[in-house]
Amino acid sequence: MAEVVSVNISLRRGTRKQPVPAIRLRPHYGIEGDAHAGNWHRQISLLSQESVDTMRALSPVPLDAGVFAENILTRGVDLKALPLGALLEVGDTLLRVTQIGKSCHKDCEIRQATGHCVMPTEGIFAVVVRGGTVRPGDPIALAKEAAS
């Protein structure tokens, strides 16, 4: 079963995201209280636990939840294989995939330590189509029908 492992926010841009018990998502805005919220195409970032696990074997630095600037850490879903426009039901919310990968800012700490980072190729970004609350343990599924 695909599920949420961790939810993470940062109060200011340029700071590491920190795990929180739950996040509240608003349509066309993103996460309440997150520095990257707003009406743009990268409201939510997602990365899989499986991607983080591959980096742990290479990294001399701890790779805790949020270290890759992901808002939602997942397990059991191949995020990088999703097409643009795919709809994900995450808990009671609905997200639309808008971007696959993103360049690291200023050659991130992880790339400096390991020579590699998974976010540019395995992280995804989405917008909020249907809001709600997301918590660790919430199920994740591909939506069966398109949302307007």
Amino acid at 6: S
pLDDT of residue 63: 77
pLDDT of residue 57: 77
CA distances from 126 to 39, 101, 142 (A): 11, 11, 13
pLDDT of residue 108: 60
Mode of pairing for the β-strands spanning 44-48 and 72-75: parallel
Q: For 102-112, what is each residue's pLDDT tens digit? A: 766 555 665 55
Confidence class for position 28, pLDDT limits 50, 70, 90: very high
CA distance 112 to 18: 21
Ordered by where they begin, the domains of the chain are 3-141 (2.40.33.20)
Mean pLDDT of all residues in the chain?
A: 87
Answer yes or no: is pLDDT of 61 > 80. Answer: no
Q: For 79-116, what is each residue's pLDDT tens digit? A: 999 999 999 999 999 999 999 987 665 556 655 556 65
Confidence class for position 118, pLDDT limits 50, 70, 90: low
Answer yes or no: is pLDDT of 2 > 60. Answer: yes
